[in-house]
Amino acid sequence: MDYLKIFAPATVANVSCGFDSLGLAVDAIGDKMSFTRTTERGVKITNITGADLTYNVDKNVAGAVVKKILNESHADFGIELTIHKGFSPGSGLGSSAASAAGAAFGTNQLLGNIYSDLELTKFAMFGEEVACGSPIADNVSAAIYGGFVLVRSYTPLEIIKLPVPSELRVVAIHPQIEVKTKDARDVLPAEIALKDAVIQWANVGGLISGLYTDNYKLISNSLVDIIVEPARKGLIPFFNEVKNSALNSGALGAGISGSGPTIFALCKGNEVASNVYKSIEESYKKTGIDFEMFISKVNPEGIKILEEK
């Protein structure tokens, strides 16, 4: 294979109760990236569209990941890379993760698929470290594995792919404001009460059980975050209004995607998802803040090959 074009999906991390441990991939938006094998070794980024990102290979998330994999695999070829960002950096939808995961996946394909999904996740985590200083796994693993994922352990890294009920839908609104990841981290409590921890990990267990048993009521009851959301929601204008609109229109639950500002809602079925979309849209039109929205299925396969030759 000398050329490959892929779609790397946006992702929702934390999923309410699962801070830094749960994530899911969406189908509606993501990055498109192309990889061309070259005889000259090394990495060159030839085109970036959709966002103002650096062409410096060592500082660009995708470029850094491609370079690392080529070096560690002792590849006898190079790669020319193009990136089209399908959604905004800083949205809370795993923008850097899509680029990092896509870079790992595409490079691995040109190498003959020599690395496992777990190894690709580790490479993509390096990209996250380039982007924000922390090798976080929830977004990148969701993009690589697809569907829902649980980061059960970082030492050693263990990723568990969870089942996705067939009627589960994601509705999301991205207010056109910026929430810096550092700011979202800084507002988190350094310590939490034991009783809150018990509630939170019980909700994680309930959500995972609901996914395995297609129990939408259990999923709904478990989509509750009493630790992170209360600390962060003040960073997102009209968060409570959006969440209440979603829940009153039949959403199973709603919360902050990643570190925000995107707010997601999980719904059962297309009709409920459509109603939730309309309700959130109407409520946010009154705020005077620009926004973007989408409805999506949960993407079961993660990164997709669009073209190869």
Exposure letters 138-177 (e unless 16+ CB within 10 A, then b): bbbbbbbbbbbbbbeeeeebebebeebbeebbbbbbbbee
Residue with tokens 């297309």: 270
Asked whether the bond before 261 is cis by omega within 30 degrees of 0, the reply is: yes
Q: Is 72 a catalytic residue?
A: no
| Strand residue runs (E) in the chain | 3-13, 22-38, 42-49, 78-84, 148-154, 157-162, 168-175, 253-256, 263-268, 291-297, 304-308
Q: Is 128 a catalytic residue?
A: yes
Cα–Cα distance between 10 and 142 in angstroms, integer?
9
Cα–Cα distance between 227 and 48 in angstroms, integer?
38
Catalytic residue among 107, 121, 181, 262, which?
Answer: 181
Q: Are 267 and 276 in contact (CB under 8 A)?
A: yes
Catalytic residue among 121, 128, 229, 262, which?
Answer: 128
Query: Where in the sequence numbering do the catalytic residues fall?
Result: 128, 181
